[in-house]
Structure 1
């Protein structure tokens, strides 16, 4: 799923929230210095705090005082902060005068809060910009592949490099025609055009920037394949009218492009989703620690080895990460996987599921043919083995709701349309799990459900899946 660049004031919601905090702190400190009391404990100052909050919000949105805040120099920032402060306190002064509350307030306290707000607001803006510059390292940026004709490649790379590519990093170039060039403008030529789709499918690529004529059928075909893989494409000339995907224009590196994606979310939606992940992740992590403390001695007794199972999985857009589970299998489970492949319920081998897995701790077929289960099967049936994945949610490599992350050996078998499953952060639960979980053994059906989730994503859908997951987990339906 593509995170669309924020538009207008929402691009700087972090600065807006910080400014509101600074304003409230300024009032608290101003009143404390003058009256030795806590502002929120006094009704008249508590009311003033609310007025200041609303006033600041209106001015921030109507005057757009955070416009270009990231690119402003220190002197420009000081002037902008001073203007904004005068706007806010000018309105507040008019309010006090109009309501005839002037005598009820300490004028010195209000004046002190103005000075504190000016100094604090300016300092926080400068420090936050420094933090963003340091934090916004290449590894955290959108990994973008550039596809261009040999004639246009140098020009477009020069333009992109010169523009404000704050959210992107160019990871390579693919030319529409074969040449001997190994790199252009310092960026490596990573593959031949005929291998472009395979390269995008198997590597960590977040989006593809294309500057090539649409009269070339190969270019259109590549864009269609990227759509199958749910990889967003940015086309430099907004001239495309093909149906079936979401399109919108935006600017990248100072150039106007038409972006196509299976779906996109706004920064506010991403903030809400991430906030929910953190809240539920914290609660889940506490339960995970408790579950580990209870089952660890039993696991250690029945199968010596680490309690937590760590495995490298494929995350969003091909980025690898480490996923954690409570170990429910014996230590040689991966080595025994090949000898059990004939019993795999998913016949095309795109996933691995057994009706009765002998690698699970406590699972045993007795001489009379009876199947005996133990702690491992209990953990899997109750989904308790999944709880350490809440640690991954807190780290940001997983989400509560998403698609299940494939293993590396599964991922290498993916066809183009299968890659759409990893267009978003992997999740602990998702559309597939609440639509049948282990009863669904057709991998194409799993892909269809996951793609449907991505294309139709909304907060309401996430909430619906979350509560369905809770019900399914409590009843044990479909677990394996």
Structure 2
């Protein structure tokens, strides 16, 4: 996962402001319908909740990226985004009421009305405002008029690309064909060819032109003299570096790197805010997890040592994000010679691919010769207690709460090209594979598919969903062996 240098959420300040206003309107409406007055701010508790709603709204704007692609979203997608936004605010609201013990004094009816009113008002506001912008954006956003410099063989395609990605915010005032001298009464896709390259300064001198787009992919070059004249006249020069979506199926971002302006293409882009929130969640989870680990180790460590004298903690070199090596830590659930015996048991591997899984693994502490399962080894594996020391890896930043399973070095060395993509993020304590059947999945390609699906659709909400599912899976013992 690649971190973006910047994000563009501020360009949707209008939606942010309208959401803020309509959330308060929903709150006032809920108070009116429940209490018969229009001033919830007179009561201290209700006034505090109003402030919490504002703070939660700011957090949702800052962390959830809920406004990204808002102009491209359909009706159902917009409803989903509104529900996520309102749900986030409700979580903050309920947390405040719980921590301050104000739930008895706050009307449940007002809360329920607020939820429904907020969803309806925000959804209606976004749809109406979006439709208004699509019809009147030229006036509201002071639409820019541009000239396009390209070549005759690429002109039609270049114009189509620009028009498909502008949402009415750009007006193409004319086309300039760098490889043609005669421009008399010629049009391309309805856009007039207005002048030659040499005539650009005189053409824009008395016309509304904000900028010039130069199609670099057509090897079009604007003479330095003409470029300098245009800039001196207040006209911006835009040089295309890469076509959106052209390079593979990844996401693209322009940034400065090593003294160069580059277009970065990656499988998945994440903003600094998103990564900050994920790391904050990791740290909080790791601190709580390590406290739990220390408490359980009082009972688990002696049981392991008595059953199989030796180190209580098992460490092994694993492969992390993009090939980084690190030491992973677990409570030892296997006998000391487990790694040596693994080679002997490879023919009994039940996993199709580059992972080792065995139903009645004799290396686990407490395994009987007849395949019976009892003892501390099987217990800590079934309950996933053996994984708890990895909270230390998470705190160090080598792992994340949610991610992909870190392979061993011998597994990593056998990876094919498409397998490596699953290591584009930090490995996790849990992940899509663990909550989708765990050891019941016997095909490594299915594991890869689940991991890639997680990476490509990652957001902080998905992490929380997987963490909650993990708790249920562990408590029920689903798929554990």
Calculate the TM-score normalised by the size of structure 2.
Answer: 0.51
Give the equivalent residue in structure 1 for 2:303. Answer: 298
Q: Within 1, Cα distance between the matches of 2:218 and 2:249?
A: 17
Give the aligned partner of residue 102 of structure 1.
none
Q: Which secondary structure does the structure 2 equivalent of 1:371 belong to? A: coil
- Measured in 2, the distance between the counterparts of 1:7 and 1:468 equals 31
Q: Where in structure 2 are the equivalents of 1:305-316 lying within 5 Å? A: 305-316=310-321
C-alpha spacing 1:417/1:376, structure 2 compared with 1 (3 Å): same
Structure 1 position 4 matched with structure 2 position 4: yes
Determine the C-alpha separation between the residues in 2 that align with 1:286 and 1:347.
37
What secondary structure is seen at the aligned counterpart in 2 of 1:269?
helix
Q: How does 1:94-113 map to 2 (within 5 A)?
A: none
Partners in 2 of 1:321 and 1:444 — Cα distance? Answer: 24
Q: CA RMSD in A?
A: 2.7
Relative contact order: is structure 1 or structure 2 higher (C-alpha 8 Å, sep ≥ 6)?
Answer: 1
Q: Is the 8 Å Cα contact of residues 238 and 257 (structure 1) preserved in structure 2?
A: no
Whole-angstrom CA distance in 2 between matches of 1:429 and 1:312: 18
Q: 2:400 — aligned with what?
A: 399
In structure 2, the partner of 1:166 is none
Q: What SS does the aligned partner of 1:313 have?
A: strand
Partner residue in 2 for 1:477: 478
Aligned with 2:336 (options 317, 331, 335): 331
| 1:468 Cα offset (Å) | 0.3
Following TM superposition, by how much is the alpha carbon of 1:7 offset from its aligned partner in structure 2, in angstroms?
5.0
For the residue of structure 2 that corresponds to 1:364, the secondary structure is coil
Paired residue secondary structure (2:287)? helix
Alignment-derived partner of residue 424 in structure 1: 425
Task: State the distance in 1 between where 2:465 and 2:381 align.
Answer: 23
Q: Equivalents in 2 of 1:273, 1:394: separation in Å?
A: 12
Answer yes or no: is the 8 Å Cα contact 1:238–1:249 preserved in 2: no
Give me the whole-angstrom Cα distance separating, in 2, the residues matched to 1:334 and 1:290.
Answer: 28
User: What is the alpha-carbon distance in structure 2 between the residues aligned to residue 323 and residue 372 of structure 1?
Assistant: 25
Q: 239, 262, 269: which one pairs with 1:257?
A: 262
2:367 is aligned, of 363, 369, 373, to 363
| Pair member with larger Rg | 2
Asked whether the equivalents of residues 246 and 262 of structure 1 are also in contact (C-alpha less than 8 Å), the reply is yes
Corresponding residue SS for 1:341: helix
Length, aligned pairs only: 259
Q: 1:134-159 CA distances to partner (integer Å, 9 max, x unpaired)?
A: xxxxxxxxxxxxxxxxxxxxxxxxxx
Q: Distance in 2 between matches of 1:239 and 1:447?
A: 29
Alpha-carbon spacing, 1:345–1:311, altered in 2? closer, same or farther (3 Å): same
3-state secondary structure, aligned to 1:378: helix
Gaps in structure 2 of 5+ consecutive residues: 11-50, 63-216, 220-239
- Contact between 2:4 and 2:253, CA under 8 Å: does it hold in 1? no
Aligned to 2:387: 386
Q: Note the alpha carbon deviations across 1:164-193, whole angstroms, 9 max, x for none.
A: xxxxxxxxxxxxxxxxxxxxxxxxxxxxxx
Following TM superposition, by how much is the alpha carbon of 1:264 offset from its aligned partner in structure 2, in angstroms? 1.0
- Please say if residues 317 and 325 of structure 2, whose CA atoms lie closer than 8 Å, have aligned partners that are also in contact: yes
The 1-side partners of 2:279 and 2:337 are apart by: 36
Which position in structure 2 is the counterpart of 1:342?
A: 347
Measured against aligned partners, the alpha-carbon deviations of 1:184-208 in whole angstroms (never above 9, x if no partner) come to xxxxxxxxxxxxxxxxxxxxxxxxx
TM-aligned CA deviation for residue 237 of structure 1:
4.2
Deviation of 1:8 (Å): 8.4
SS of 2:366's partner is coil
1:347 to partner: Cα distance: 3.3
What do the CA deviations read for 1:60-87 (whole angstroms, capped 9, x no partner)? x9xxxxxxxxxxxxxxxxxxxxxxxxxx
Q: Is contact 2:360-2:371 (8 Å) kept? A: no
In structure 2, distance between residues paired with 1:329 and 1:296 = 13
Cα distance in 2, alignment partners of residues 214 and 245 from structure 1 = 23
Q: How far, CA to CA, are the matches of 1:461 and 1:214 in structure 2?
A: 42
Residues 362 and 372 in structure 1, CA contact (< 8 A), matched pair in contact too: yes
| TM superposition shift of 1:460 | 1.0
- Label 1:415 to 1:371 Cα distance change in 2 as closer, same or farther (>3 A): same
User: Equivalences for 1:240-279 in 2 at 5 Å?
Assistant: 241-242=246-247, 244-279=249-284
| Superposition deviation, residue 250 in structure 1 | 1.6
Q: CA deviation at 1:295?
A: 1.3
* Residue 6 of structure 1: how far off its partner (Å): 2.9
How far 1:244 moved relative to its partner?
A: 2.2
Counterpart of 1:438 in structure 2 is: 439
Quick one: distance in 1 between partners of 2:218 and 2:421?
23
> Which residue in 1 is equivalent to 2:413?
412
| Closer/same/farther in 2, CA of residues 287 and 342 from structure 1, 3 Å limit | same
CA shift for structure 1 position 370: 5.8
Distance 2:259 2:400 in 1: 32
SS of aligned partner of 2:433: helix
**CA 214–315 in structure 1, closer or farther in 2 if over 3 Å, else same:** farther
Q: Give yes or no for contact 1:312–1:408 (8 Å, CA) kept in 2.
A: yes
Alignment of structure 1 residues 127-142 onto 2, 5 Å: none
Please, which runs of 5 or more residues in structure 1 have no aligned partner?
11-49, 62-212, 216-235
- Determine the C-alpha separation between the residues in 1 that align with 2:446 and 2:371: 33
Normalising by structure 1, we get a TM-score of 0.51
> What's the CA shift for 1:9?
11
For 2:218 and 2:322, locate their aligned partners in 1 and report how far apart those are by CA, in whole Å.
Answer: 25
